[in-house]
Structure 1
Amino acid sequence: MAGMMAPETLITGVELGGTKCIATLAQGKNILRQERWATEGPETLDRISATLAAWQDEVPFAAIGIGSFGPLCLDASSPRFGHMENTPKPGWAGADVYGHFARRFALPVGIDTDVGGAALAEGQWGAAMGCTVHGYATIGTGVGLGLVVDGKAVHGRLHPEAGHMRIRRTAGDMFEGACPAHGDCLEGLVGGPALAARANGALADVADDDLLWDRVARELGEWVAMLILCVSPQRLVIGGGVLDYRPTLLAKIRVAVAANLGGYLAGLDLTALEMLIVPPALGRDAGPLGAIIVGQNALRGSQA
């Protein structure tokens, strides 16, 4: 039947992250194969597509989904569809990510942001199941946000770039910020390079009760409160490398969100926020499985 996929359909997903890339072969949410690369220049795409070609020879898959760092052009009517926009990642500005795979494989290819894909995966298989409006935020090398409404990732002129919003600075914090474009936007304060610069010594050695984490929690807490006021999500999943290695931060973020909301939203007390602001149920597979969902959607679109 048009638009339906057999349960055994194999899909390949490619997650392009700021520091690493992951190719995944999956059957639904069951991961069958995976390979990783460090994210270097766009030549990394050649290494990935070579692996996909080898997989295709052994176990043919039906579509490719790409979940990529950005910003990306996701306007299907634009000649730049699937190209990287003005990313600070060296060598990647203007890279034709979608075209690289579409030219090499006679298969449906889909593309979205890595966080957009992760949001879709958490909605279908993870912590946001059953939610009409939900989001996935990643706090890692950068700060990203994917939003899903009625099962579709939100795209407008571009896609959400909420990690570059500005929030109020903590009194006495003179750190200039690490974002090449905006200095002390949120990503410039809490992204991986920013945290490394703000820490006194190795980040892994900074104690959980260090003042740095209080500041980071307040900054993220204000950001999340603004997202709640603006988007009204039923669930906000927060993942990424920083939370992986500092899970105690999530509880501090909830407390800061409650303080920022100031009791304005009825029923949204700290207990309710524990249900609204959650870690990814899919763990570190949220991104790779997000790319699988993007591939599934591309296949459905080709069959419609």
Structure 2
Amino acid sequence: MTDEPLLAGVELGGTKVFVLRARGRNILDRVALPTTGPDETLAAAAALLADWQRDQRFAALGIASFGPIRVDPAAPDFGLMLPTPKPGWTGADVAGALSRDMDCPVALDTDVNGAALAEWRWGAGAAGTSDCLCYITIGTGLGGGFVMHGQPLHGAMHPELGHILVRRAPGDTFAGACPFHRDCIEGLIAGPSLAARFGMAGDLIPNEDPRWDDVAHDLAQLIGTILLTTAARQVLIGGGIGMGRPQLLPKVHALLVDQLAGYLSFVTPQTVAQIVRPPALGDQAGPLGAVALALRALEQA
């Protein structure tokens, strides 16, 4: 293990930040910090990295951040947070604040692209069977990342699955809670949206509440859109809501098969649970995403 490179990672989430150091995929230290304002949050994470680096220089740094964020290194606003529903974070210089004093290769991507890369490298795609893998997290927000042929998906920016509009369940009158689009998928089933929909904090919502059927319908709509547009071999559902509600996925499986109506021959009642499933790395997919990005930065240096 001592021959493995010493890596630094930051997983910047909407409610907390994990600052990591690792050798290869083995996490040596992990410190959780609250996500408050950008200046305070990023300064605390950068100070911890600097303190660790005084002990031993890092070979690379991986930053896996919530978005939307500019991930194109050639763009003049590289590393800056784009307009976001999270108050105070629009324009925050995430890459600059975290990498300014780091004398090593740096990779920045979304937290979900990072998690998808970790799953492709060490988790659900490690057997080499996933040329297209999608990772979705459902928590404070809803985000989705892709790895295609071993590369995180980028274009004009990064995927923004949370703001896709889906066909609503018949009879569902919930208006949605996204400040940009109201009833996009994030506005329907992310944590704050569930609190508004159910009228109570998410952890208090009983599994037996029939309104979960509408949530499952909406999630199945999103997954169907992903399968139809990308032909993904696997769609992994992570995050506190994605993994914390075990009754949800079986509902989604049945609804997805029904909604697709046989059009995608590879999605059947017998195969759907292997296609749409929890991440193989569980709740470690996010932190290991930052490590996977650091390894990618080192490999491309």
TM-score (norm 2): 0.95
- Does structure 2 conserve the Cα–Cα contact (< 8 Å) formed by 1:101 and 1:109? no
Task: Quote the residue 1:179 is aligned against.
Answer: 178
Measured after TM superposition, the shift of residue 136 of structure 1 is 0.4
* C-alpha distance in structure 2 between counterparts of 1:54 and 1:215, whole Å: 48
Of 4, 9, 12, the residue aligned with 1:8 is: 4
Percent identity at matched positions? 47
After superposition, the Cα gap between the structure-2 partners of 1:200 and 1:82, relative to the gap in structure 1 and judged at 3 Å, is: closer
- 1:3 corresponding residue in structure 2: none
Say which SS state the counterpart of residue 35 (structure 1) adopts: strand
Unaligned runs of 5+ residues in structure 1 are: 1-5
Amino acid corresponding to residue 232 of structure 2 in structure 1: P
CA offsets 1:252-294 (integer angstroms, 9 cap, x no match): 1111111111111224202211111110111111111111111
2:197 is the alignment partner of 1:198: yes
> Runs of 5+ in structure 2 lacking a partner?
none
CA distance in 1, matches of 2:98, 2:111: 16
Q: Does 1:80 align with 2:89?
A: no
Matched, 1:297 2:296: yes
Asked if the contact 1:133/1:150 (under 8 Å) is kept, the reply is: yes
Larger relative contact order, structure 1 or 2 (CA cutoff 8 Å, min sep 6): 1
Whether the 8 Å CA contact 1:135–1:237 is kept in 2: the answer is yes
Please report the RMSD computed on the Cα atoms of aligned residues, expressed in angstroms. 1.3
Q: Distance in 1 between matches of 2:93 and 2:199?
A: 39
Superposed CA deviations along residues 117-147 of structure 1, whole A, max 9, x for unmatched, are 0000000000122111111011111111101
The aligned counterpart of 2:94 is 97
> How many Å separate the matches in 1 of 2:247 and 2:79?
37
Cα drift, residue 7 of structure 1: 4.5
Question: Deviation of residue 173 (structure 1)?
Answer: 1.9
How much has 1:205 moved relative to structure 2? 3.0
Match for 2:13 among 14, 17, 21?
17
Shift of 1:101: 2.3
What is the CA–CA distance in structure 2 between the aligned matches of 1:120 and 1:251, rounded to whole Å?
26
Aligned to 1:31: 27
Q: Deviations over 1:151-207 (max 9, x none)?
A: 010000001001100111122222111101000100000010000111143432322
The AA in structure 2 aligned to 1:88 is P
Give how far 1:60 is off.
2.9
Q: Does 1:136 align with 2:130?
A: no
Distance 1:234 1:7, change over 3 A: farther
Query: 1:104 is paired with a residue of what secondary structure?
Result: coil
